[in-house]
Amino acid sequence: MLKSIDQLREEIVEIGKLIYQKGWVAANDGNITIRLGDDRLLCTPTGVSKGMMKPEDMIICDMQGNKLEGNRERTSEIAMHLTIYNLRPDIRSVVHAHPPTATGFAAAGRALNLALLPEVVICLGSIPLAEYGLPGTPALTEGMLPYIPKYDALLMGNHGCVCYGTDVLNAFFRMETVEHFAKITLVAELLGGAKVLPRVEVQKLFDARGRYGVNAASRIEPGAPIVAEDLTPRSEKLEITREELISILDEALRTRGVLS
């Protein structure tokens, strides 16, 4: 059954509260939209905390981003949402926020592209990093264009994260997976380095999507996700004291007759 616009307004309020409570936004950051039919969007207002919105704060705009209805002004990132809807007819909702661990990876210039966890490989494949672009301008989406058709979640360089799906809960869950994965990747690295799965296991996970009823855009590609075979083994590090090093050099030079 199709949901009414009032139900969808309530859904955005609920998801806004969740992303605020989870600490994925500060102050008035973030924005959420839902596609209404073919020609309109329901979107969050600018200048309001996403944790404190009311259903009547939502704005309806057309697919050029012009406001059609609403007392407030629409989000300043409407162009990014429109770009995603244009490139992905299957997408009905877009959620953008700044979840701190995933955004930390984006600020460090790192994609979340290691094959580490079955759920993440099945649900998202990997999460690419789109190049930085000035917010509120067309530059913001430029770096995202190659990735939007191929992925359902993106890191935005020096900025945050955007996820999209068949409804607002699906988009929200994708962001929850991204942030959870970012935390686990960070912990694995703090503990001495993540152990990446081999290609044969990663292929099995991609093949298992049908069994789990997962509809994801990403396909297995070289380097996305990074599998064990992609990583060159690190050379073994060994510790040696200054005295030991001098005695080894001394010995070597002596046997070659350089020193007597």
- Residues found near Zn ion in the complex (CB under 5 A): 160
Q: Phi and psi at residue 61, in whole multiples of 5°?
A: -130, 165
Identity of the residue, 29 or 201, whose beta carbon is nearer to Zn ion in the bound complex: 29
- 153-156/129-130 β-pairing: parallel
Q: Closest separation between CB of residue 202 and Zn ion, Å?
A: 31
Distance in Å, CB of 37 to Zn ion, minimum? 27
Closest CB to Zn ion among 99 and 165?
99
Q: From the CB of 98, what's the least distance to Zn ion, in Å?
A: 6
| Closest distance of CB 80 from Zn ion, Å | 9
> Can you tell me which residue has the tokens 């296991």?
201
Distances (CA, A) of 253 to 21, 114, 148, 240, 245: 66, 45, 60, 19, 12
CA distance 40 to 59: 10
- Nearest residue (CB) to Zn ion, 128 versus 160: 160
Q: How far is the CB of 128 from Zn ion (least distance, A)?
A: 17
CA gap 256, 59 in Å, rounded:
82
Smallest distance from Zn ion to CB 160, Å: 5
Please give the residue whose beta carbon sits closest to Zn ion in the complex. Answer: 160
The minimum distance between CB 84 and Zn ion, in angstroms, equals: 14
Residue 30 corresponds to which amino acid? Answer: G
Phi-psi region of 21 (alpha: psi -120 to 50; beta: other; left: phi over 0): alpha
Q: Are 120 and 212 within 8 A, CB to CB?
A: no
Locate tokens 């990446």: which residue?
196
Give the other-Cβ count within 10 Å of 45's Cβ: 20
Nearer to Zn ion, 118 or 143 (CB): 143
129, β-bridge pairs: 155
> Is 163 or 194 the residue whose CB approaches Zn ion more closely?
163
**27 phi, psi to nearest 5 deg:** 50, -125
Residue 97 or 121 having the CB closest to Zn ion: 97
Nearer CB in complex with Zn ion: 125/160: 160
Q: What single string gives the DSSP state of each residue in 38-73?
A: TTEEEEPBSSS-TTS--GGG-EEEETTS-EEE-SSP
